[in-house]
Structure 1
């Protein structure tokens, strides 16, 4: 039981936050590379980078993501995607991703990427997915099996390959792929452009999430849920636009916000990323505070670890500092995420009962 309103409960230390078991639903593979890895692969393939040492390159990614310029922000992905065109490089990036997440206390992760962005070197879509799966399996083995990782295959909403990627996700769903996603600019590219893909996935009893309610408002969320049938909302932060807080503190939910809460539709919230994109002014002012208090199905995520210079521990630590959350609250976020995972029910329950709850109990959670 969460004790979010218990102002007297002790706050977890940074060490406790690091050790706490975490579940991650929204993390981009091409947004979480190690700067040193980018440097080494770029040198091998002759790709020019804006910096020639790992520290400077990491700083360039962070500054570019914080610049307020969408053009410069997108340029960061030009460099990460460029070094993920050979099977061995994709597998390395995937392996290191798992190693980094495991070191941060993540016990379950769904990591997404767009296979269509990794075929310029001659790989087929199937070979891209295979390379990622190989890397994930190597990473899990290196972590002694202490983390479970699944792929989410993303289609780019400004392209026309969503049905093809949806079929790919179904073909691989018993071999490491948990579901499907669409991403990219929301404005001008509503999710309804990809109804064919979503209807196909529904017929195949397959899971999918949709980036919605990040850069664009309520219509994007409404379409994602009511037209496309999304199981989860990628970000969903703009649902706050359908919630009114009166001068007396009374809260009024609009029809869409009430539906999202009533139906327990998970919100894949990424606080630091939302600040970079202008969806929130600061962690303390992030809608996650109110949405958590109102008991929406809130989950905490990283989005792009490299661009945001973040981790699950950093995201949770910032929430502890901003809102005074306790270990019990962090456990609540984690169980929310695990309940919402695109994993069979019995496997989700096993991770909650055998890993998450004992892990928090060991740290002193009530």
Structure 2
């Protein structure tokens, strides 16, 4: 497995509410965008595999066999195609699956598409129920537990152990909304102050509505290939240097601790070890902030800050654009860019691809050489981490 895996193109739809666009059409828009963005050109015959990241098309859209549907609708009929489901880590898991397909030497070039259409479910209670199935259905979801409720328990545990505060969580949301004002693909391009976030209504105490990522429609796509042929497609590929994935107990009540996601620590360790890159090298990271406490956990569990110091670091602008430490979620994160479950992890890779190539809006550029993505499924029950370089 010596040949590195390169990203040679990346594209995404705008995240938001796409009432007039179908699930298959969203996927096709991202796929054709990635194909059309290949600088030196690519033919459909060059693509030998399709991996689709999707969390809930069977429940949200009454559609199974999604990979075959998207291959057919996108002009890729006949190629190997699979759907990967790992809740809202589906996109990150899809990238990992494609990464190892290429590493195996059996496939040269794989297109990864993450897609979700959540607004097909117009009843809030139905959508909440579907999303809550990423918890333990028997022991948690059927008893009334929700993702917001579980994250609230985690936030309170972090508050008690480390002295983290609501203001620190609000600083995460305020930063990410500020970043999204410059991101033309973001669902919410509106800034909020910390005080506005703190005064929002509670979803599950201590989490407010403005600490919570929206339900979104959208798709994102990246084209992966092996290093030896990457220059055929682009003079400036971005390389996936390391990949890690780990799991934890799906039920929160079975965790030994609530103040960290052990799966993030394990997946991060795997990705850093494979890449021979460390935390000090990473200057831009896209992490999973479906609830603002999630970003604080992520930057601690990944080793960017000591345990208990992620909140104060965010409040002190150590993760903001322009920081000499690490810029976190310059896209706006899930909180403001949007969170179409299966598309999110791929959209994170799209952001890092453009960050390392300096092709994002100038207000969001980090001039980084190395980047990282972290995708979380459920309450940290599955996590995928990838490390990227531009050299």
TM-score by length of 2: 0.29
Q: From the two aligned structures, give the one with the greater helix fraction.
A: 1
